[in-house]
Chains A and B, each alone.
Chain A
Amino acid sequence: MATLGTLIGIALTLCVFSFLYKDNPFYTFAEHLFVGLAAGYSIIVQIEDGFIGTIWQRLELSIHQGKTTEMMIILVAICTGLLFFTQFIPDVSWLVRIPFAITIGYGAGFAIPYTVEQDIFKHVYSTIRFNETQSSLKDNITDLLNQGESTADLQLQFKDSGLVLTPKAEIKTLKASRKWEIRDRLQFTINDSQVNQDKLNQKEMPDGLKLAFAKAGFELSPTTKIKIWKHDHRWQITDNRTFDLRRLNGKLVLDEQWVYTVKREMKPKETQVEVLNVYVDFFHRGGWQVFNMCLIFVGVICTLTYFFFSVEHRGVVGGISKVGVIFIMVGFGAAFGNTVMGRVSLLIGRVTFLIKAIPSLFGG
């Protein structure tokens, strides 16, 4: 059976490649076969997993279990969905507006805030966050870590600077990515009386959590803020600190934020305790990243200027927009290069398949 599958794969690959010479019946056959199979498979999946798996089985289950409310909700959803087909009946075709309105309303309601936040705000912020690149400490610290200083020595220095790390803390230099990282992991237990849900739902640091951190050797500064992502499931504690590493060039000030991310792990309910893993990740940007960020900033401004048509592109504006054109061309070039690489990868995939598959037919 596997041999038959391989044989079909080889035959169809050659049929498709034959188009490179010229259009021919073998290519047409392969093309039609592909379209037909894809459409047939798609319909089966949509019916089996979509309608039967998602709708019908749930409806059946709710009827068997006598859950009237759930049954009604599913029926309303089915009826609303069926209204899509009213567009084929002219007299009641206006009813199609109802499911369209719901779909568009639901989609837009979800899409707009997240798209604006993630596609616009986040990217604008990443373009202009120069505060993260102004630190002059990078080289000193990178040198420090590259000197092969032991983790214990570094921990001592961090401790003197006000950051208590556990003996298990890992400090490593990520040379390839031009960053360095300190990762510490604390594990301790907090019972529900120390951190109850009500307190966590307020945006303030619960005393119990503070105490638990201190007990684990982690002293949070008075400026600590707590951000709750989703009720009690996950929260993030942000602690802004200033450190003095007392190294070579005197005072070294780290301007990044130390972020303690706490994720709750699911435990059996009867234990009544939560195990918290505290991760401390600290990244420092490297020299090339500073250069790249400056380049991106200049590129964005120049490219936007090129597309700003309310002012005539002459003089300074004209110059900036010309630089913008260069950035656009570089962008298109990179995109085209990646596209060629992607397409070529597909060809290589097929060729590799042929080279592996043909000998396998003869027991190779």
Chain B
Amino acid sequence: MIQKLLSLDRRWIFLIIAVVVFVPAILKIPVPVSTISNSTQQLYDTIEGFEPGEVVMISLDYGPSSMAELQPQLTALLHHCFAKDLRVIGINWAVFDSVLLGQNEFDRVARLHGKTYGPDYCYLGYKPGGLPNLLDMGKDISSVYPKDVHNKSLTDIPMMKAIKNYDHISLVVDLASVGSPPFWINYVYGRFQQTLALGVTGVMISELYPALDAGQIVGILPGLLGAAEYEYLIQDANYTMEGGDGATGMGIQSFLHVALILIIVFCNIAFFIDRRNRSNIA
């Protein structure tokens, strides 16, 4: 029996995972957020402390493959910024294939809050160049982005008339699934002392916590969990009534985690029983 279980076709495990994901997703079983991570709370507190009109720049350094984790973070951040009447700039510093993802979400959330393109927010998109672009934006954003994604000159965008470089930006948030955070930390925080926050995938989070502890960033959203926590915070403050994908995803994830833990425990027990049986035979 144990032998049979240990040599179980892995496709049965896939099937179990599929059932555990699909059933709560279809039934929409709610799982409440009980605690908020310090890192999420810190980012929320930072934005919460801003005065209307202050500028937040969000860099979308992720592609469609990571949008499941990072897009809910973007949505939650945009709700918070627009509800607080902050002005938002969207860019894609490191990844070019998420321009449409970001642009559409900016437009959608802005519409919900009655914000208009130009005075309240703008989207600058992607420019090849990498590190020099980050450094140049410290001097003059229009030297890197002379035009926005609509091919409109920055001088014709009302909010950009008063925003020349990082000096006029209160916070930069890098939503990343690639190796961009060290660049933002080392060069934009290091050289320009720009207040910085991150939203990253679960895979990257462990290596970036030291930056939070060192004070290089003011907050960090850990994957889908961060998105769910942020959604809870902004809904609790009545900034939005829209249910986010983060909370939905974390609800499903909770069931999946229980299933994974049970599978790991069960397999380990089976492994040790099998080892004992073998040693008894020997």
Residues of A within 8 A of B (CB): 20-21, 38, 41-42, 45-46, 49-50, 53-54, 107, 110-111, 114-115, 117-119, 122-123, 125-126, 174, 176-178, 181, 183, 185, 229-230, 233-234, 236, 263-266, 277, 293, 296, 331, 334-335, 338-352, 355
The CA of A55 and the CA of B132, in the complex, are separated in Å by 14
Cβ-defined contact, B68 with A346, below 8 A: yes
Cβ-defined contact, A351 with B222, below 8 A: no
Residues of B within 8 A of A277 (CB): 51
Cβ-defined contact, B190 with A114, below 8 A: yes
Residues of B within 8 A of A266 (CB): 162-164, 167-168
Contact with A along B32-62 (1 / 0, CB 8 A): 0001101001100100010100000000000
Is B245 in the interface zone, CB < 8 Å from A? yes
Cβ-defined contact, A177 with B41, below 8 A: yes
The CA of A105 and the CA of B207, in the complex, are separated in Å by 28
Cβ-defined contact, B164 with A341, below 8 A: no
From known contacts A123-B214, A178-B38, A348-B224, infer whether A45 and B126 are also in contact, taking CB-CB under 8 Å. Answer: yes
- Stretch touching chain A among B19-27, B108-116, B273-281: B19-27
Cβ-defined contact, B224 with A347, below 8 A: no
The 6 A-B pairs with the shortest beta carbon distances in the complex, nearest first, are A349-B68, A342-B202, A50-B128, A126-B214, A345-B224, A341-B202
Cβ-defined contact, A122 with B252, below 8 A: no
For A264, the closest partner residue in chain B by CB is: B167
The CA of A177 and the CA of B233, in the complex, are separated in Å by 13
- A333 to chain B minimum Cβ distance, whole angstroms, is 10
The CA of A54 and the CA of B25, in the complex, are separated in Å by 45
Residues of B within 8 A of A343 (CB): 202-203
Is B260 in the interface zone, CB < 8 Å from A? yes
The CA of A65 and the CA of B163, in the complex, are separated in Å by 26
From known contacts A54-B128, A178-B38, infer whether A338 and B26 are also in contact, taking CB-CB under 8 Å. Answer: no
Residues of B within 8 A of A331 (CB): 206
Residues of A within 8 A of B248 (CB): 352
Residues of B within 8 A of A115 (CB): 186
Residues of A within 8 A of B223 (CB): 338, 341-342, 345
20 A–B contacts, CB within 8 A, in A order: A41-B97, A49-B126, A110-B131, A114-B190, A126-B214, A126-B215, A177-B45, A230-B167, A265-B162, A293-B213, A341-B253, A342-B223, A343-B202, A345-B202, A345-B249, A346-B66, A346-B69, A347-B21, A351-B22, A352-B252
The CA of A293 and the CA of B211, in the complex, are separated in Å by 14
CB < 8 Å neighbour of B25 from A117, A296, A348: A348
The CA of A177 and the CA of B220, in the complex, are separated in Å by 13
- B152 to chain A minimum Cβ distance, whole angstroms, is 14
Cβ-defined contact, B42 with A177, below 8 A: yes
Residues of A within 8 A of B167 (CB): 230, 233-234, 263-264, 266
CB < 8 Å neighbour of B256 from A125, A236, A263, A344: A344
- A227 to chain B minimum Cβ distance, whole angstroms, is 9
The CA of A6 and the CA of B107, in the complex, are separated in Å by 20
- Could you say which of A42, A110, A348 has the most chain B C-beta atoms within 10 Å of its C-beta? A348
The CA of A344 and the CA of B225, in the complex, are separated in Å by 12
Residues of A within 8 A of B131 (CB): 107, 110
- Could you say which of B68, B210, B215, B245 has the most chain A C-beta atoms within 10 Å of its C-beta? B68
For A266, the closest partner residue in chain B by CB is: B162
Cβ-defined contact, A348 with B96, below 8 A: no
For B144, the closest partner residue in chain A by CB is: A54
The CA of A264 and the CA of B65, in the complex, are separated in Å by 40
CB < 8 Å neighbour of B206 from A46, A236, A335: A335
Cβ-defined contact, A54 with B215, below 8 A: no
Is B192 in the interface zone, CB < 8 Å from A? yes
Contact with A along B219-240 (1 / 0, CB 8 A): 0001111000000000000000
The CA of A266 and the CA of B166, in the complex, are separated in Å by 12
CB < 8 Å neighbour of B191 from A53, A114, A345: A114
- Could you say which of A117, A118, A234 has the most chain B C-beta atoms within 10 Å of its C-beta? A118
Residues of A within 8 A of B36 (CB): 176
- B178 to chain A minimum Cβ distance, whole angstroms, is 13
The CA of A117 and the CA of B216, in the complex, are separated in Å by 11
Cβ-defined contact, A185 with B21, below 8 A: no
- A319 to chain B minimum Cβ distance, whole angstroms, is 25
Cβ-defined contact, B25 with A181, below 8 A: no
Cβ-defined contact, B185 with A118, below 8 A: yes
| 16 extra interface residue pairs, beta carbon distance < 8 Å, beyond A20-B11, A178-B38, A352-B249 | A42-B96, A49-B128, A107-B131, A114-B186, A119-B182, A123-B210, A174-B41, A174-B45, A234-B167, A264-B167, A265-B168, A266-B168, A296-B213, A335-B207, A338-B223, A348-B21
Is B187 in the interface zone, CB < 8 Å from A? yes
The CA of A177 and the CA of B218, in the complex, are separated in Å by 12
From known contacts A50-B128, A123-B214, infer whether A348 and B252 are also in contact, taking CB-CB under 8 Å. Answer: yes
Cβ-defined contact, A230 with B192, below 8 A: yes
Residues of B within 8 A of A342 (CB): 69, 201-204, 223-224
Is B205 in the interface zone, CB < 8 Å from A? yes
- B102 to chain A minimum Cβ distance, whole angstroms, is 15
Cβ-defined contact, A176 with B41, below 8 A: yes
- B211 to chain A minimum Cβ distance, whole angstroms, is 8
Residues of B within 8 A of A293 (CB): 213
